Amino acid sequence: MKKVFIDGSAGTTGLKIFERFQNRADLELLTIPEADRKNLDARIAKVCEADISFLCLPDAASREICEQLPQTVRLLDTSTAHRTLPDWVYGLPELSKERRAAVAAANRVAVPGCHATGFITLAAPLVSMGIAAPDYPFTAHSVTGYSGGGKSMIAAYEADDRPNTYDSPRQYALGQKHKHLPEMQEIAGLAYPPVFNPIVADYFSGMVVTVPLHTRLLQKPMTPEDVTKAFADYYGGQRFIHVMPYGQLPEDGTMDANSLAGTNDLEIYIVGTAEQIVLISRFDNLGKGASGAAVQCMNLMLGLPEDTGL
Structural domains for the chain: 2-112+290-301 (3.40.50.720), 114-285 (3.30.360.10)
Query: Which helix or strand (DSSP H or E) is residue 181 part of?
Result: helix 181-188
pTM of the model: 0.96
Instruction: From residue 7, give the alpha-carbon distance in Å to each of 18, 307, 309.
Output: 11, 23, 20
- Count of positions (residues) in the chain: 310
Q: pLDDT tens digit string along 214-230?
A: 999 999 889 999 999 99
Cα distance between residue 143 and residue 102, in whole Å: 31
Residue 247's pLDDT band (cuts 50, 70, 90): confident
Residue 253's pLDDT band (cuts 50, 70, 90): confident
Cβ(285)–Cβ(206) below 8 Å: yes
Which of 56, 66, 114, 297 is catalytic? The answer is 114
114 is annotated as an active-site residue: yes
Q: What is the pLDDT of residue 248?
A: 81
